[in-house]
Structure 1
């Protein structure tokens, strides 16, 4: 899972009922495809390709049957496939829709420590894996618990970027020889996440309207000593693992253990949106977006029927675009026909 916990980073508290309670409180309405703004203009073939990348992992018979049928459709007939076998379902839980973005970071690093590459990414120690709560970030980085154990995967040149890599949960390390190393989430030390964005607001260093990943980076670099101490405010520490089976040209692994696709994959709340389901996104704001995407990821801050994180891709440009996104709109999940109508037994 790589969906960014961006809301936690910025100190935005998001709450939701439990999955069972959430399902009971939600309202569901079946729409027509004519109700979807911009539906006819989308590239349905691109969405079909992304749907096929994970539909084989869906276990329910109706999804399996649809996956089999989908493999028989050419890209130019993809719109007909979705319209013939699905129905749009608007799921609402009383909260306004919110779209944010996430991305796969890229850091400069090396497989060996140098004077430039001094900050290690660690594998999870076996004793940490069996503990409810292990050493805090401060204890781990200032003590000798990790020294001389060969747990380093790579070393990077920037401790601030490493901190944000831990928040994202996965990323790529650009190596000096032009190669790259992909890393994924390998576990954590069991301490709760504490937002450094919220802490900067509490101190009066930044206003609530100013807090963003870019502003936090700038503040830490402008105040190196206080910045290093600020990072210790978050006792949570994420360990990594090497991800070798994903081709370099593909996106990182999502919650379905398959690569996510730039601007076609979203992280959603599985209490409302089945993983693997197509989702019609109507994102408003400065740059409106109307696109069929696939729910292939989750995120600890992605809670609610109308909450989604859009995957923007890999690298700095993707990160800047993802970091700016905080827009309203609407999302509509596409469900197999019988499943959709079964949600409304008293009306149909």
Structure 2
């Protein structure tokens, strides 16, 4: 099972709702028009009869001209090519014959890559079976946290490997049980990978399903490692943001709003955390220089690329499919090539994607707020 099968999609799902925010453009620069309003640009070779529509279990793919794809003539395609080469490590059968050409084009210009795509691929607008082409874009990321191998000096929150008894009891103990019951704690004795300072950071790591740790070793040295999803207690996920809203404790259930509530109510942190009974167990993975340039492995089995990997519903889009993504909103304006390389238990539906923003604080800020409209086009071999 991959790290993200537990992750519920977007950081927005942690908070249950989302407040829009925007930034003003430079005073001496006119803002770019939304991608959806720009006039389409006809491309050489984009002619001939269109193929029939393709049906997927949860979606209908409608063939279109390349000119329909917002921003296709402007995208820096070479930035997506590393993600495509990664998909070719475990290609979908339909793309296996093209992977040799994909690898050769990794050093080509964006114009050469664009011309190859027009010649070799057919774009299909992804819709629901009843013709709805608008969907939802959210985002997720990989937290970067300080940790220690041993508890003490402020490091008090453990990240556990799976207990030996995990498969013997379903569901396993809840989050509150793990924190309070001696019998649950006894089964986790000696299973801590590392310790964090903040239980809220641990909760975020549990929801995202993977993270990077700057671990202080007993000898004082510090090394970077990744912790990846290794199992769960099989309890249902409950949004802590939704809990705050339902209790009437806040009107701002964005992630900054949750942090503000915690700062004002430190005595109720456990109550907040225990409202989500699901608990995640991890495994440690090395993080060498090459691995550090990519995210964790997604459901396709290949490392994720920041800004170019998405999680999808595999009943709508098969893993390894190159996808054109268009989204305009207060957070970002996107018209770009991405690869369907991951999934999540909340990523359901025909036009639904979770956008991998990378790792660290900046990626987390974007992921925590991104929730806006979406259109998708599958790019399939001719």
TM above 0.5, yes or no, is: yes
1:217 to partner: Cα distance: 2.5
Query: In 2, are the aligned partners of 1:124 and 1:240 still within 8 Å (CA)?
Result: yes
Q: Aligned to 1:41, what secondary structure does the other structure show?
A: coil
**For residues 110-125 of structure 1, what are the structure 2 equivalents within 5 Å?**
110-125=148-163
Q: Could you say which residue in structure 1 is the equivalent of 2:344?
A: 299
Deviations, residues 76-101 of structure 1 (Å, cap 9, x unaligned): 12212221211111111137321111
Deviation at 1:258?
A: 1.8
Name the residue aligned to 1:188: 232
1:5 and 2:12 correspond: no
* Distance change >3 Å, CA 23–CA 64, structure 1 → 2: closer
Correspondence for 1:65 among 87, 97, 122? 97
CA deviations over 1:61-83 (Å, ceiling 9, x no partner): x3110112222323312212221
Aligned to 1:243, the other structure's residue is in SS state strand
RMSD of aligned residue pairs (Cα, Å) = 2.0
1:8 CA drift (Å): 4.1
The separation in 1 between residues aligned to 2:133 and 2:124, in whole angstroms, is 16
Query: In 2, Cα distance between the equivalents of 1:217 and 1:107?
Result: 16
Which of residues 207, 215, 228 is equivalent to 1:175?
A: 215
Q: Aligned pair in 2 of structure 1 residues 91, 75: CA closer, same or farther (>3 Å)?
A: same
Could you tell me how far 1:311 is from its partner in structure 2?
Answer: 0.8
Aligned to 1:317: 362
1:45 is displaced (CA, Å) by: 1.9
1:226 aligned to 2:268?
Answer: yes
SS of the aligned residue for 1:40 comes to coil
Cα distance in structure 2, aligned partners of 1:250 and 1:329: 25
Judge conservation of contact 1:275–1:295 (CA < 8 Å) in 2: yes
1:83 match: 118
Greater CA drift, 48-57 or 120-129: 48-57
**How many residues are paired up?**
325
Q: Which runs of 5+ in 2 are unaligned?
A: 18-54
Q: Does residue 182 of structure 2 align to residue 150 of structure 1?
A: no
Match of 2:75 among 37, 42, 50: 42
TM-score, structure 1 as length reference: 0.88
Task: Report if aligned partners of 2:194, 2:215 keep a CA contact under 8 Å in 1.
Answer: no
Q: TM-score of the superposition, structure 2-length normalised? A: 0.80
Kept in 1, the 8 Å contact 2:58–2:350? The answer is: no
Could you say what secondary structure the match of 1:328 adopts?
Answer: strand
What is the SS of the residue equivalent to 2:73?
Answer: helix
SS in 2 for 1:57: coil
Using the alignment, how far apart are the partners of 2:190 and 2:100 within structure 1? 46
Q: Choose from 221, 225, 242 the match for 2:284.
A: 242
Distance 1:272 1:184, change over 3 A: same
CA distance in 1, matches of 2:381, 2:297: 25
Could you tell me how far apart the structure 2 residues matched to 1:30 and 1:255 are?
27
> Where does residue 133 of structure 1 map in the other structure?
171
- The residue number in structure 2 matching 1:262 is 306
The answer to whether the 8 Å contact 1:70/1:81 transfers is no
Q: Is the 8 A contact 2:143 2:211 kept in 1?
A: yes
Q: 1:118-169: per-residue Cα shift (whole Å, max 9, x none)? A: 1110001011134321111111111233347310000011011101110000
- Is the contact between residue 90 and residue 301 of structure 2 (CA under 8 Å) also seen in structure 1? no
Q: CA deviation at 1:59?
A: 4.5
C-alpha contact 2:212 2:227 (8 A) present in aligned 1: yes
Q: Is the 8 A contact 2:143 2:364 kept in 1?
A: yes
1:198: how far off?
1.3
Q: CA deviation at 1:278?
A: 0.8
Query: Of 230, 236, 257, which aligns to 1:215?
Result: 257
Give CA deviations for 1:100-126 in whole Å, capped at 9, x if unaligned: 111100111111112211111000101
Q: Which segment drifts farther, 41-50 or 195-204? A: 41-50
Distance 1:199 1:95, change over 3 A: farther
User: Could you tell me how far 1:4 is from its partner in structure 2?
Assistant: 4.7
Secondary structure class of the residue paired with 1:204 = coil
